[in-house]
Structure 1
Amino acid sequence: MTEKKYLIPVFILLFLAFLTSVSVSQPLREITDSNHRVVTIPIKIDRIICSGPGCLRLITYFGAQDRVVAVDDIETRTNKFDARPYSLANPQFKSFPVFGGFRGNDDPEKIIGLKQSPQIIFKTFATMGYDPVELEKKTQIPVIILEYGDLHKGRKHFFSSLKIIGQVLNKESRASKLINFFNRHIQDLENRTRDIADRKTCFVGGIAFKGPHGFQSTEPSYPPFQFVNANNIASTNDMTGKNIRNSNFSKEKIL
């Protein structure tokens, strides 16, 4: 008699649990990331984390800071000088939970233990830090790899990543506006400077690369110099066709 008494309530609880699991499950879609991986993600994305250099900067371009639920440890550090505009514009990042180390050194256990579980993980520089495929397996959270690129020879990759972010966050129109913004201003600088005959030489020092560096640290193909057709002394003939992102220029050559 007792068994029959509790049989119906248990059945009802199991049935309600089934209905709840069905109702909370989100419809899914597929996205192809920068590594040509097809990743299955929810249709609506409200919670994200950004791993790797510059990843959080890209998300800030989209005005999607409110979807970030945790940051890597470099965002919470207190530095005397902070030269990252996106960080200065978002001081709230310093009080966010930490999911791992900077430069892509993610901690799967910390990610799983976050109070607000991310629906996806964006990751730049896939070969740096924690392997993105392994990270996806360990956390069971989709990982979207982004090719960071730049605004010169890597512009195609950069724009492709913006389009991918737009698709993931359902902000395709914002991605188009960003791409048009960059193209419009780059073309404007080209139009203003292409006919200048007497070009003075120039040099840019103190270029950061995976962290801050001294005055001799430069970028031979520094995009702003390329936009204005500048005569960059760090750009030599033997670098033609190459996209060297960072080099240490000698003081003797500068003098």
Structure 2
Amino acid sequence: MSATAAPTTEPLSRFHHQDGDWLWVGADQGSGFAKRVAGDHNPLHDADAPRFCVPGDLLFALVVHRYGLAQHFALSFRGMLRADTPLHFPPRPGREFAIADNDQREYVHITHDAPLPSDEAARLALIRAYVGCSGETFPDRLCPLLAEAGVMFNPQRPFVVYDSMALDLERAPGMDVGVTPLDASLTVNGKRADVQFNYRIEDGNGVIGHAVKQMVVSGLRDYDAEAMDAVIEAYQARRGS
């Protein structure tokens, strides 16, 4: 099923603070974006979570909103961003650049090659369609991959985060943009699994490009169907609350 723009029409300004070229995200803002826009109920994005981190989807949205679209656009996340950490968004970046805090610690490395002119409404439509796919990641797409590989995360301390995101676009989207999940794969490396989800991006005039989301699942252990069923049940309850 193709993911279209999420029902919320809340502006991105609701989900961050800004002072010139500095932006930061409060815990309530990051949690609200994860749940209301991305449909992502990962416990790491609960506002009161001890290990709270700003959603990668929100960082993606802020970068697209700030710098626009490009034929090749990729983000690599370099660590967990805590709430209220000011980040500097360079005003005139080159093809490759980083977003870092006041101590020059990088949190996002970006490739933005061959900019595509687009209006703000079209960019927001693509953002909402793209991040909306996160609501399908767990348990719908990830759990079958874990079961097939015979591994799972620690149900008491789940650690599932985005590692990178990339889009390849032939042209700017229209307002009716949608993102369709394609194939997915999981590779186990010791106590860590690298997961890749592929997508097709299209609008009313046809396919305009493809996208990839890569995740990291840490703290792997042998798959336990009963334990995973309990995790899924609790997650679905969070979804419906």
TM range (shorter): under 0.3
Q: Which has the higher contact order (CA 8 A, sep 6+)?
A: 2
- The structure having more radius of gyration, on CA atoms, is 1
Normalised by the size of structure 2, how large is the TM-score? 0.24
